[in-house]
Amino acid sequence: MKLKSLFPWLLMAFALALTLLVFWMVVGKGSLKPRSELMISNVSVGVDFEDHPFLAGMVSRFAYGARQVCLRFDYSRLEEDVPVVILWDKDGRQIQSESYELAAPSGTKMYCLLKEDGGPLPRGAYAVTIQCGPEFTPTFHFKIY
């Protein structure tokens, strides 16, 4: 008998706790907007963009002799004045870093790594990171062999 009379009270307490939790998640955090400020898609890494202006997929190995490696991606921005930092690493050491402002709310961007003297990029393991705030930093790895 006691269990049957206790069950409705437990059910109401659970419903109240669940309602308070949802309220805290929505109001306490400010809104339901995405945590990252930038959506990035269709990422490609390649060396020859003259013959293939629109790449599909990601190549992870390039033969020695490549004079540039380019990162291409589509983006859609959710907030104004979002800086994007492109970080290039070679063998675990940062070799280049640039910060860019994206002027349009969405579009396609391409950034290239190349040597100042125009010579081939050295052999090694590389990584390029698209950094947009502390929460959104995808990294793409490739090698020049």
Kindly report, residue by residue over 12-65, the tens digit of the pLDDT.
Answer: 777 777 777 776 666 654 444 444 456 788 888 888 766 555 545 555 889 999
pTM of the entire structure?
A: 0.67
Helix (H, G, I), strand (E, B) or coil at 9: helix
Fold of 38-144: Immunoglobulin-like (2.60.40)
The structure tokens listed for 56 are 């599909």
Most confident of 28-37, 63-72, 79-88: 63-72
pLDDT at 87 over 80: yes
CA angle 29, 31, 34 (to 5 degrees): 95
Place of tokens 């109001």: 27
- Residue that is written with structure tokens 């599909």 in the block: 56
